[in-house]
Each structure stands twice: as C-alpha cells, then as structure tokens.
Amino acid sequence: MSKKLSRRQFLTYTFGGTAGFLASGMLFPMVRFAIDPVLKKGAGSEYVETTMTEAEITDSPKAVKFTIHRKDGWYQPPQGEEQTAWVFKQNGKVVALSPVCKHLGCTVNWNSNPQFKDEFFCPCHFGRYYKDGRNVPGTPPAKPLDKYKTKIENGRLLIGPLEKA
C-alpha cells in the first residue's frame, strides 16, 4: 500500500489546517470575552448591609431595598444597582426571597391580590407562590422563588448571594 500523499489530500490538509488555525484565533478571544465575568472570582458573593434592623423583621414579608455593585459583562453602573428582597421570619429564621417571578421574570408582590390572601402574586400571568416561596401548583411558575442568603450583624440585616431554587 502506497503511503504517498496525493496532491488533493495535501491541499485538503493544508487548507483545512490553516482554516482551523485562523478560526481558533478568532474564536478564542470571542469566547473569552463572552465568559469573562464568569471567570472573575468572588463576583456577587459579598453581603450587603440593608437599612432593616433585626427587630423590624416580623412574620409578615416586607420589601427591603439594597444596592449591589457588580459588573454586568463589561458594564458597571457607578451608583450600583438597586435590588429588592421580601424579608420575613419563619420559625425564627430570617428568609429573604427574590421578587423575580420564575415564570418569565416579572415582579411578584406580597398580598397584592385580594383573591389570594397571604400569597406572593405575579400580575403578568397570575403566577402565585406560598409565603415560603413555593410555587402554587397549577399556576404558571414551575419553580419556587430564589432565596438570598442572609445574616445579622450588629443588629442589622445583611443580604448575601442568591441561592437558585
């Protein structure tokens, strides 16, 4: 069997190799650019102090606003981003729920629909959640609300990273 390379094979390998080399040279920076924020260590892992004191946390959910400073891709607003959490106590433990509906991302509110008392309600498609954040079966959301980590320091509530449900 001859091990000679035909002219066609030689050209195929040469052009294929060159094209692969050029493509990888273009693709690597594009992929690196796209995933760069993910590669940054510790992004979004800090706790942020809120204005809420421990004494203000009751069994009834209250909206707490806080500001986080993070890079979204290459953009980092200098004044930070305002976020909200629904905070309450459950069996003595502090719970902080994200207000972002797990259906299509609208904002949920506590007790905002008189038809559904003591529930979180999403007005976009009538999504409903129990107080502990579990989605009510038969309504559009298929997952519970995400929870923030929390801690109390010097009598004040601190909000930490989101724990995806």
Residue 120 or 158: the one with the smaller Cβ distance to ligand FES is 120
Residue 48 or 100: the one with the smaller Cβ distance to ligand FES is 100
State yes or no: residue 120 binds ligand FES (CB under 6 A): no
How far apart (Å, rounded) are the C-alpha atoms in residues 7 and 56? 81
How far apart (Å, rounded) are the C-alpha atoms in residues 85 and 147? 9
Tell me which stretch binds ligand FES (CB under 6 A): 29-37, 91-99, 104-112, 149-157: 104-112
Tell me which stretch binds ligand FES (CB under 6 A): 100-108, 112-120, 143-151, 153-161: 100-108
* Residue 143 beta carbon to ligand FES: minimum distance, rounded to whole angstroms: 11
Number of residues that bind ligand FES (CB under 6 A): 11
How far apart (Å, rounded) are the C-alpha atoms in residues 145 and 108? 9
Within residues 126-145, the interface with ligand FES by CB under 6 A covers 127, 140-141
Which whole-number Å values give the CA distances from 30 to 17, 33, 36, 54, 124, in the listed order? 20, 5, 10, 46, 36
Name which position in 106, 136, 162, 165 contacts ligand FES (CB under 6 A): 106
Residues near ligand FES (CB under 6 A) are 101, 103-106, 122, 124-125, 127, 140-141
